[in-house]
Amino acid sequence: MISEGMKNGGISLFAMKGWGKTRMLFSMAQELRNLADCRVLIFDPSMAWLYNFSKIPVFNVNIEDITAKEQKSIEDIEQYTLNNFQVVKMALESNKDLLFRLKSRKPSIRGFFIRQIILYLDSLQRAEIERNLTHEPKKSIAYFIEEFQDCFNNRSTARNDSEEFQAVFNECRNMKEAFFTCSQRETDCSKTLRSKQLILYGKIPECDKSPYHRRLERQFNVNFSNLPQRNWIYNGKTIISPNWIQQGKPFIINKLLRAKYSQTQPKTQAEKWKSYNPLKKAVLLLGAILTAGANSQPNSQEEKEETDTTESELDEFMTDSGSVMFPTDDPENDI
């Protein structure tokens, strides 16, 4: 089932709360992580993966990491900027599998960050396809998005800033990319996106059933409201989710990455001065004092000669016999 999902753009799970959607995604993600030619990227806004998934590096996406641009009117589309994109790139380059913990509760910010990461990795996949002689990427990518309806709903995907992401979502099969998502209600998620995935149905309450669900019940002779625990329906077939056993704990890598990133940046004067030992600081201070004293004296022989020449001209002017400043006692000068 997982391999079929990778070939068809991914799998989407729909079931009521507490049915085991996240545990099913846990099993799928762990199975794909065991493959050497597949990398797994997880976007978790609910913290369910942070405390219950197996050992995996975690990158915290804090609220201050994403800032909104100024809006001139209420009709303007809210735009965001990812402030620490270089650190995020370093995390992607140094880890095969990664869990992004989204701390913001705004669906627009969650969707923005997910789009930025997926568009960046998709561009790398396309560049690798162009360079490769077989025109295929070396590794496939599986994206896991928890609470899919809070990141991409019908309203958010209708905006112009999501059109590039929709194109990537539609063409992901050609780039060896797949999306694994889950949600409580099918109608809460973007129809544009979920229609490109394979769909597994768990238990659905009567109030959430649509005419399409009732038509599937008649076709497959099942009742989505009376399914046993851990049972899923896919094209009339019943799939039982495996028991999930946690192996290790996720660990946060933000502090390590920021320290590594700061080492690659040029040091400021204050940082350089702080790293000097006391002896070097004393030598630098003494050199600065001597330099300041030397600057107060004439800097060259030419400046000294110009100064002497100016003084001589002034003396000649002041002692000249025809100077009006010091007239003589010659009576011819009297009127």
Q: What is the rounded average pLDDT of the residues 63-83? A: 73
Residue type, 322: G
pLDDT top residue among 256 and 320: 256
The DSSP bridge partners found for residue 234 are 237
- Distance from C-alpha of 23 to C-alpha of 31, rounded to nearest angstrom: 13
Write out the two tokens for 12: 């989407």
The answer, yes or no, to whether residue 4 has pLDDT greater than 90, is: no
The DSSP bridge partners found for residue 39 are 141
Mean pLDDT of the chain: 81
pLDDT exceeding 90 applies to what percent of the chain?
31
- Distance from C-alpha of 132 to C-alpha of 180, rounded to nearest angstrom: 27
Q: Which residues, including other chains, have CB under 8 Å from residue 149's CB and lie 6 or more apart? A: 183, 184, 185, 188, 189
pLDDT score of 96: 92
Specify the 3-state DSSP secondary structure of 219: helix
Residue type, 125: Q
- Using pLDDT thresholds of 50, 70 and 90, give the confidence band for residue 31: very high
Q: Which residues, including other chains, have CB under 8 Å from residue 186's CB and lie 6 or more apart? A: 14, 194, 199, 208, 210, 213
pLDDT score of 156: 65
∠ Cα 84 86 89 (to 5°): 115
Q: How many whole angstroms from its chain centre is CA 245?
A: 30
Q: Which CATH architecture has domain 2-264?
A: 3-Layer(aba) Sandwich (3.40)
- Distance from C-alpha of 96 to C-alpha of 75, rounded to nearest angstrom: 41
- pTM (two decimals): 0.76
pLDDT score of 280: 72
